[in-house]
Structure 1
Amino acid sequence: MSNDPSITLDAVDQMSAYWDVITPLMGGTLAMRAAPALLPKYPAEDDEVYKERLRLSTLLPAYSETVGNMTSRVFAEPLQLGDDVPEQVVELASNIDNANNDINAWSVDFFREGLSHGLCHAFVDHQKAVGVRTQADEKAAGVRPYVVMVKPEQVCGWRVRDGVLTQVRYREIIEESDGDFGTKCVAQIRVLEPGMWTTYRKPKEGGVWAIHDQGTTNLSVIPWVTFYTGRTGFMTAKPPLLELAHLNIKHWQSQSDQDNILHVIRVPILVRIGVQAQYDNQGKVIPPEFKVGTGALTDLPINGDMKYVEHTGKAVDAGRQALLDLIAEMRMAGAKLLTPNKSATKTATQAEEEAAQDLSPLSRMANHFADCLAQLLQFMADYRSLGEGGTVEMRGSFDVDYMPEVSLPTLVAMANAGMISKETLFTEMQRRGVISDEYDWADELEKIDSQGPALGEL
């Protein structure tokens, strides 16, 4: 039995193995350099040499950019609040986190975190309302409900009964004033339970967690919502792009090797052949005097030789090709979110619902995300006793056809084989944003005809 609120559940510890890979990738080159476990040291590599290699390593941000691109697709158009959302909730949504972020701006970060890590959490908090009894009092006092995002790494644990969340604990950093001008960051653990909340702090380093503050809410449930993109169970998930993350780590390591070998082979090695070692009276080798440079003279024995030895470059070409292959594999791994999963087993209801629209994993995530936002709006409405909180509609772009790097080579090949017209190819390129919509095919065809034959046709 433990009374330590900071203790983590086994499920959290298991998911942290994913986040140890994901979080540095999302943080970029500096975050990767701060995670040396992701760049193994060579067996005989000197510590200083390894530190320098790590310091110079750079990351191709394939994982973070894929997450960003997929998130941009979901928010290709602003999300729409339904007509059934109460006016007061619409007003609250214009500053949903009480930090001047509207629901669209806040939702982008919420979705991105959920997509990268497999899940993300949020709950509806309420400012303390001392002496407030009516909504008019609440408005006059400037207190209101607002949404708080909780990243998966913050969560310590939870309790559930009959599928209902009865307790959740997470770490947070609170910024407090320090003196007349300074600020300090204080770590604390917040515990949420139906109708109440409690915060714990350590009075000093090495001390015991103790209650710092607590209060009640007018809700009979914990206003907590979890957005899943790779759900494996209640409050647990596996990042849907985990294989892409592993490929990106492999590229990070291979790129470091490639940069290191380029550094080595760019400096040719000077060797002398036929020089006999000289020994002193004690049998120790006497280092030969040797000078290299303009105006320097070096003596060699008869039949001796001296020359620079350079790398043939074959390993460099092989490494470069391996990196290109990895990039192609990462592109395929990232594109899978846009490919409809037709092989998955579906219930009869699911089959009927998806018969009219073959959903890709990303579009299903967007639909689930809309439900999560609607739940948050419902909790805000519950705080104000407004009844139904309303619905949310996502208007993203989920067509794999819009990925030029995937579809254009096929379209060009079809045009060259005479399977589609050049006008169709032109239109498809415009649809993917490769060619500006300002251009017209008839005008372009006229310009092409006026150019005369191409060089290869002369």
Structure 2
Amino acid sequence: MFHPVRKQSDAAAALNKHCALIDALLGGTDAMRAAGKTHLPQWPGEEDKAYATRLAVATLFPAYQRTIEVLGAKPFSKPITFGKDVPAKIQALCEDVDRQGRNLHAFLAEVGQEALGYGFSGILVDYPPTKDENGRPLYVTKADEDAAGVRPYFVQIHPRCILGWLSDKSGLTQLRLLEAVEVPDGDFDVKTIEQVRVLRRGAWETWRKVDNKSDDEWAPFESGVTTLKGIPFVPVYGNRLGFMRARPALLELAHANVEHWQSKSDQQNILHVARVPILFTKMLGDGVELAVGAGTGVKATNPDADMKFVEHTGAAIEAGRKSILDIEDRMRQAGAELLVIKPGNITESQTLADNEQGACALQKVAENIEDSADQALQLMAEWLGEQQGGHVTLFKDFGAATLAEASAELLLKTNQAGKLSDESLHEEFQRRGIVKPDINWETERERIERQGPAPGTLKDDTDPDAP
């Protein structure tokens, strides 16, 4: 039993419901193997050793990870734009917005990918303590604070770190966050311990587990007050269901990726079995020795004897292959659907003119990130005593008119990443009507070879440093 301050609330558990699934898919093959029977069931009658072998050779087709990377990068394919209402002091702080070297563009890009992948992320606008535990100032002058780097900064909050919250009509009244803190461990090492940060309006405190006690023994460690009226936390929604409620926008793609993982494992297993023919013998007679290999023969003593290799017909293999291809196509479509603008709107300018009713789902995610960034900048302004934090704008003119167009773009990105062959790309473009159906791939490849290297790829022999 956890102490109440460490216990995750039911609402927070609902917010984190799909985190383990997304963690495994984003973690790749190693993480999926580590999840074991959670995502790759052991079939009835399958021996433990056989299952362990099947799990050890299974590999993940990274559809979910790649889709999140490609789609999440689109709003940040161009630099974010600061509005004229962003104070110069705040814009300067945005060059290292998290005090870890990330500027606002890079910080929001990672927050956005997290919100798209998990459905939710958060921004905590924190400020270093300026008073000690007894309420005495740590710095004499404002210049001392500046010299020590005391300033507001952003902290990215993963949904797994949220233990619970309380709220009223004005917003959050309490927020509990799970943190990992490094503390000294002897003279030359550190160790990581858990800490719970409790934020309240105008105050904060941290709790740590009491040494040599059970999990339910926690006590306050530090506390303080803030100059802000509210809690400096901003939720970032990938797919908003309500206040502090969300789910992954591509959850069905995640489930399909797990289905692909399982089906691909079955396919690998049946291919292994089918590639090894079984020697069948019938009525060879007593005392016949078998020697199988080149230059060998078997002499049977029974005239009705028979011996042959029994091989798999391949019907199940082909059915499995088609099933895997169908799943891959469904996954591509699931990702592409976020890029499809509703009928009647083609570009961002048209979307804005229609009050954004025709925005594609990914554009709406980008708008959520924009809104959250503006709120975070306003909190930074309140820390600094500024009247307003201003606004930023993300690139959003990436909607596609049709699902075929959107999925074609994802296919091209996959091809450029080396995960899809040129021939397969040509076939998929034909299937979508982008390439005429009467163009043969062999003919097209010859045309590509005749036209020479792509622009910018020709080596300059006069330049010794040219790649």
Q: Is 1:172 aligned with 2:179?
A: yes
Q: Which amino acid aligns with 2:70?
A: N
TM-superposition CA deviations, 1:377-409 (whole Å, max 9, x none):
111111110110010010244232464448774
Q: Matched residues in 2 for 1:126 and 1:356: separation?
A: 36
Which residue is equivalent to 1:20?
Answer: 20
Structure 1 partner of 2:107:
106
Structure 1 position 375 matched with structure 2 position 375: yes
> How far apart in 2 are the matches of 1:245 and 1:277?
58
Provide the rounded CA distance (Å) in 2 between the counterparts of 1:175 and 1:334: 39
Q: Using the alignment, how far apart are the partners of 2:248 and 2:373 within structure 1?
A: 20
Note if contact 1:76-1:397 (Cα within 8 Å) is conserved in structure 2: no
Aligned to 1:106, the other structure's residue is in SS state: helix
2:242 maps to 1:233: yes
1:189 and 2:190 aligned: no
Deviation at 1:298, TM superposition (A): 5.9
Q: 1:85 matched to which residue of 2? A: 86
Q: By how many angstroms is 1:240 displaced? A: 1.0
Residue matched to 1:283? none
SS in 2 for 1:45: coil
Matched-pair contact (CA < 8 Å) for 2:285–2:300:
no
Structure 2 distance, partners of 1:256, 1:355, is 47
In 2, Cα distance between equivalents of 1:25 and 1:148: 24
| Distance in 1 of aligned mates of 2:286 and 2:239 | 67
Q: Read off the aligned partner of 1:385 and give its amino acid letter.
A: G
Secondary structure at 2:394 match in 1: strand
Runs (5+) with no aligned partner, structure 1 = 279-287, 344-350, 417-434, 440-458
Q: Residue 312 of structure 2 aligns to a residue in which SS?
A: coil
Find the counterpart in structure 1 of residue 414 from structure 2: none
CA contact (8 A) 1:291 1:298 kept: yes
- For residues 414 and 289 of structure 1, the distance between their equivalents in structure 2, rounded to whole angstroms, comes to 59
Q: CA deviation at 1:414?
A: 9.5
State how far apart, in whole Å, the 2-side matches of 1:289 and 1:265 are: 26
The residue number in structure 2 matching 1:211 is 220
Q: Is the 8 A contact 1:135 1:384 kept in 2?
A: no
Q: Tell me how far 1:190 sits from its aligned partner.
A: 1.3
Counterpart for residue 442 of structure 2 = none
Contact 1:341 1:361 (C-alpha < 8 Å) held by counterparts: no
Q: Secondary structure at the match of 2:354?
A: helix
Please list, as runs of the form range in 1=range in 2, the aligned pairs for 1:129-168 lying within 5 A after superposition: 129-130=130-131, 131=137, 132=139, 135-168=142-175
Shift of 1:66: 0.7
Distance 1:289 1:170 in 2: 73
2:262 to 247, 253, 261: 253
**Once the 2 structures are TM-superposed, how far is the Cα of residue 177 of structure 1 from its aligned partner?**
3.1
How far, CA to CA, are the matches of 2:201 and 2:48 in structure 1? 53
The AA in structure 1 aligned to 2:144 is: D
Which deviates more from structure 2 when the two are superposed, residues 223-232 or residues 304-313? 304-313
2:424 maps to which residue?
none
> Could you tell me the TM-score, scaled by structure 2's length?
0.80
Moved runs in structure 1, 4+ residues, more than 4 A?
A: 275-278, 288-301, 405-408, 435-439
Match of 1:97, SS? coil
Structure 2 unaligned residues grouped into runs of 5+: 132-136, 345-350, 412-427, 440-452, 458-467
Q: What displacement does 1:75 show?
A: 0.7
- Does the Cα contact within 8 Å between 1:77 and 1:396 map onto a contact in 2? no
- Cα distance, 1:116–1:81 mapped onto 2, change above 3 Å: same
The answer to whether residue 35 in structure 2 is matched with residue 35 in structure 1 is yes
What secondary structure, in the 3-state scheme, does the structure 1 residue paired with 2:129 have? coil
TM superposition shift of 1:340: 2.2
Q: CA deviation at 1:297?
A: 7.5
3-state SS of the aligned residue for 2:18?
helix
C-alpha contact 1:123 1:223 (8 A) present in aligned 2 = yes
Alignment match, 2:229: 220
Q: Percent identity?
A: 38
- Taking structure 1 as the reference length, the TM-score comes to 0.81
Instruction: Indicate the SS of the match to 2:80.
Output: strand
CA distance 1:356–1:173, change in 2 (3 Å): closer
Amino acid at match of 2:267: Q
